[in-house]
Chains A and B, each alone.
Chain A
Amino acid sequence: MTGRTLTRRLTEGLVPAVPYLWLGVLFLVPFLIVLKISLSDPAVAQPPYRPVFEWGDIAGFFGGLDLENFELLTQDDLYLTATLSSVRIAAVSTLLLLLVGFPVAYGMARAPERYRSLLVALVILPFWTSFLIRIYAWVAILKPEGFLTQALMGLGLISEPIEILNTETAVYIGIVYAYLPFMVLPLYATLEKMDDTLLEAALDLGSPPWRSFWTITVPLAMPGIVAGSLLCFIPAVGEFVIPDLLGGSETLMIGRQLWSEFFSNRDWPLASSVAILLLIVLVVPIVIYRDVEARRVETRP
């Protein structure tokens, strides 16, 4: 009997402990290291930063920390501009995603039941296909002699190739395209559960459809709108691949800035400070998202 309770206690302890430890070591600790290195000085060495932590030298640890990198971030307009422009691009994209995603999710929720799981699968399928490849596909469409120009010229709508690639417009198109499944699926999940009799009642009582939409459908879909928007906004702020492949040199985004500090300038401490800056911008939306998600999973029947 004691043997059995011992194995039971052992397995009970191990089940949470193993993934806990893994995430602690490979997610939490790396995070603290970023914070630490963001406070240290760059050095021409391998690795290219001066360590600020030596075991047994606690006094030196606190003495070696400084906010120099962060001062640099505030002094150089580049980082502030890049941060603001990332937030702006992500916010506009999220709005566009809502405008594109809502009608699609609504259509899916109204489709006959036997087609719905197929439609859901069709929305998910592109998300499984390589992100890089899907963005790459847009390069061929948007470039000056690409498919879009060919199609529009063929229709006689334009006579000159249009310049979309390497502009902010291309970045919006890329983000909306890549993140559409993230917006549609949470919206669909709430819209599908919606009780249609509410809309009928409103109609019977003489409410015009647009008013029913704003006073009934939108409030009921709010959990989906919030989840979908956060799910798109958060990663879009730190996006690297899309602005890099579709945006021009004037498209400033913080993820791209971090990448170039790290790979081109090899300034690891500055790259770490940029990461912390990005995190500070995202901490509120991430916390809200975590709460929304945890509540959604835990209240499910």
Chain B
Amino acid sequence: MTRRLSLFNVTALVLGFAFLYLPILLLVVYSFNASRLVTVWGGFSTQWYGALFRNQALMEAAWVTLRIALLSASLATVLGTLAALALTRYGRFPGRTLFTGMVYAPMVMPEVITGLSLLLFFVAIDLDRGFWTITLAHTTLTLCFVTVVVQSRLMTFDRSLEEAAMDLGAPPLRTFFSVTLPLIAPSIVAGFLLAFTLSLDDLVIASFNTGPGATTLPIRIYSQVRLGLSPEVNAASTILIGIVTLGVVSATLLSKRSVLRSRRNAH
């Protein structure tokens, strides 16, 4: 049967999405504002983008952030995929309940607690705070998100393919690399992108675990925002939004293509 969209439904959708997008839209539009006053339109200009690229501190912060995000997302993808395999393919192993708890808890744990506890741990083991401590912290947080994304894919796919490969004598590692991995690849990519953007975005955990020479972009933006609105931050935000939008759109297209392909194969 077809569902009808009532006037009420349409209004809710329009208002809901306007609420979600209007603030971002304003931010993007006003990054092209010629005026230094962030909320007063003074004509079109791209001068803040120029200023942004000449701002040594911001560019350095962006570079540090990017390196941390790439490294921690890669580590988190490997660890998260292993965790997802453990949860879906290994049945009841000792300490499974604790393991599930440790996977789900960091996702809802307030960031201030995660940040503080990791910092105290790094101090206790005498690890200098900086690039590596943020990377380790981000890996720990984001691997949980990768686990959930990959796990949901592992739950839905056809086990008989793996079993067929095993029956034909393929060893487990070979089965994994030639059967399982290609099938779950889109979810691994999606997990990586999620981990990457979470790391790119994080202020609280990074603030606790940062050290000399490891000021990330969110930390830099936060300290500028505290001093007042700045059109340069608008420009930086617009670039970030652009990158993220591009990433999400390509990830969506990627997973859609793989769904189409698996549908085609099924026929």
Q: A-side interface residues toward B, CB under 8 Å?
A: 4, 7-8, 11-12, 14-16, 18-20, 22-24, 26-31, 33-34, 37, 47, 100, 103-104, 106-112, 117, 119, 121-126, 128-134, 136-141, 143, 145-147, 150, 177, 180-181, 184, 196-197, 230-231, 234-235, 237-241, 245, 255, 258-259, 262-263, 268, 271-272, 275, 278-279, 282, 286, 289-290, 293-294, 297, 300-301
Contacts and interface: CB of A to CB of B under 8 A. Distances in A.
Contacts of B51: none
Given A20-B99, A122-B17, A259-B112, A110 B3 contact: yes
B82 to A, nearest CB: 5
Interface stretch (B42-50, B55-63, B218-226): B218-226
A16 B90 contact: yes
18 contacts: A7-B173, A19-B82, A20-B99, A100-B16, A107-B5, A109-B3, A110-B5, A110-B6, A119-B13, A132-B221, A136-B229, A137-B237, A140-B39, A146-B39, A196-B3, A234-B108, A238-B110, A294-B104
Interface string B216-254: 001001100110010001000100110011011000100
Contact of A290 (B104, B152, B237): B104
B109 interface: yes
B39 A37 contact: no
B116 A133 contact: no
Contacts of A26: 118, 121, 136-137, 139-140
A222 B148 CA distance: 22
Interface residues of B, number: 92
B155 interface: yes
Contact of A22 (B8, B23, B140, B247): B140
B9 interface: yes
Contact of B201 (A117, A130, A150): A130
B186 interface: no
A117 B86 CA distance: 30
B117 interface: yes
Closest 9 CB pairs of A and B: A238-B110, A104-B16, A103-B12, A16-B86, A30-B121, A30-B117, A19-B83, A137-B23, A107-B9
B203 interface: yes
Given A15-B82, A290-B105, A297-B152, A258 B26 contact: no
B73 interface: no
A253 to B, nearest CB: 10
B266 interface: no
A11 B143 contact: no
Given A19-B79, A235-B110, A128 B197 contact: yes
A12 B152 contact: no
A29 B114 CA distance: 11
A245 to B, nearest CB: 7
B117 A108 contact: no
A294 to B, nearest CB: 6
B112 A240 contact: yes
Greatest chain B CB density within 10 A among A104, A196, A255 is at: A104
Contacts of B110: 234-235, 237-240, 255, 278, 282
A240 B101 CA distance: 24
A22 B117 contact: no
B102 interface: yes
B10 interface: yes
Contact of B203 (A27, A119, A132, A140): A132
Contact of A107 (B12, B120, B237, B252): B12
Nearest to A8: B172
A76 B248 CA distance: 47
A149 to B, nearest CB: 9
Interface in B140-198: 140, 143, 147-148, 151-152, 155-156, 171-173, 194, 197
Nearest to A232: B108
A271 B116 contact: yes
